[in-house]
Structure 1
Amino acid sequence: MAAALVVGYAMLVWNKIQTPQFAGPWLFGPPGARWSVTEFADLECPYCKTYTPALKAWVQQQKDVNLQWHHLPLDFHGSAAINEAKMVECAGELGGASAFWQAVDQVFKQTRSNGLGFNGQLDISDVSPQALMDCAVNNKQISLRISRQAEEAIKFGVTATPTVLIKDNKTGRSLKLEGAADDVMLLSAIDLLIQKNN
């Protein structure tokens, strides 16, 4: 009996070593940035598919801005949007923020959008396809996290994707922009938030 308990405990410890647990929110860019741009997005949204890479490129060019992902799988995109959200969340939980953003990029590259999804699998560094699939199918906390984010989006008055929320982490003030806000709109929103501080 004692030997079985030791083996059971050893397996539990081994599984913890084999499957590191990371937690979001998933940030792209410097964690301590003054400005956070939260993108409310759906992985089956064709507008998000073209907008998210442009937004990431813009964030990379800024020295004091980070990007945070917020799931809002739209009902009319069906189960494909939810399944893809589970996969990218699991990639992040198993491999950290870098794996999360790799998964987002790969889903957008592969999806046919508008609820059609994609065939095949994601190829995420340091995350096995089997572990990713097991997590997406079995991890109830991931499903709950996605549901909570969708509910929070609705509370913020966000009903369409993409929508971005720009937050001044110094003052806590924020501004919501609906649609694919380009670099001029993003910088103008930051300027407006700065003017509100003066």
Structure 2
Amino acid sequence: MGSVPQDSPLDPHRHSYGSPTAPVTIVEFGDLECPYCRAAAPVLRDVVATSDGRVRLVWRHFPLFEVHPHALTAALAAEAFAAHGRFWDLHDAAFAHQDRLADPDLRRYASEAGIDPDEVVGEAVQRWAPAVEADYLEGLSHGVGGTPTLFIDGTRYTGPITPDALRAATTT
């Protein structure tokens, strides 16, 4: 997919929500077009928000491009948004409008966020392919096959994605 842009370090924690010094990290391998990821998003944010700085969430791309036709382009656009410090803006817009993730939609979200729409679609966005590919390959190396897949401090979480279950899992 090409080389990594010099201004795009492949920090696996680059899309982090919550305190960067939180002692507990939940890593989500997710797909911006996945309805299960959309359902998990407010639960995960709530767990982080109510943890008093103890838990942070890290997003890693795992676009299920065979079943979600816009997942890969949305992931690439999210990386372009991230270059402007706006990753979570596209994350939230994608989940709010999963039925509107085609190029014209991504261009509109960029324009609304004050980002040049030409940066988030087409050839320009391909510069972010190595970052998305790195996340995807990392997921595969850990046995990820579907989304959302969560890891809490490196251990795969297999319980329900509910506030109580995740709070219990992040306090042990």
Q: TM-score, normalised by structure 1?
A: 0.71
SS in 1 for 2:109: coil
For residue 73 of structure 1, the aligned residue among 63, 66, 70 is: 63
Q: 2:115 & 2:29 partners in 1: Cα distance?
A: 25
Which amino acid is 2:118 matched to?
Answer: Q
- Aligned-residue sequence identity (percent) comes to 25
Alignment pair present for 1:122 and 2:109: yes
Which amino acid is 2:155 matched to?
Answer: L
For residue 88 of structure 2, the aligned residue among 80, 89, 101 is: 101
Unaligned runs of at least 5 residues, structure 2: 1-6
The equivalent residue for 1:132 is: 120
Q: TM-score, normalised by structure 2?
A: 0.80
For residue 170 of structure 2, the aligned residue among 171, 185, 190 is: 190
Q: 2:119 & 2:137 partners in 1: Cα distance?
A: 28
Q: Over alpha carbons, which structure has the higher Rg?
A: 1
Which amino acid is 1:36 matched to?
Answer: T
Deviations 1:106-150 (A, max 9, x none): 0111112xxx745522145442333333xx632444111111111
Question: In 2 relative to 1, CA 179–110 (structure 1 residues): closer, same or farther, beyond 3 Å?
Answer: farther
Which amino acid is 1:155 matched to?
Answer: S
Unaligned runs of at least 5 residues, structure 1: 1-20, 168-173, 193-198
Q: 1:59 & 1:50 partners in 2: Cα distance?
A: 15
Moved more, 47-56 or 26-35: 47-56
Q: How does 1:136-151 map to 2 (within 5 A)?
A: 137-151=123-137
SS in 2 for 1:152: helix
For these two proteins, the number of residue pairs brought into alignment is 158
SS in 2 for 1:154: helix
Q: Whose RCO is larger (CA < 8 A, sep 6+)?
A: 2
1:48 positional shift: 0.7
SS in 2 for 1:158: coil
Superposition RMSD on alpha carbons, in Å? 2.2
Equivalent residues of 2:28, 2:150 under 8 A apart = yes
1:57 positional shift: 2.3
Which amino acid is 2:58 matched to?
Answer: Q
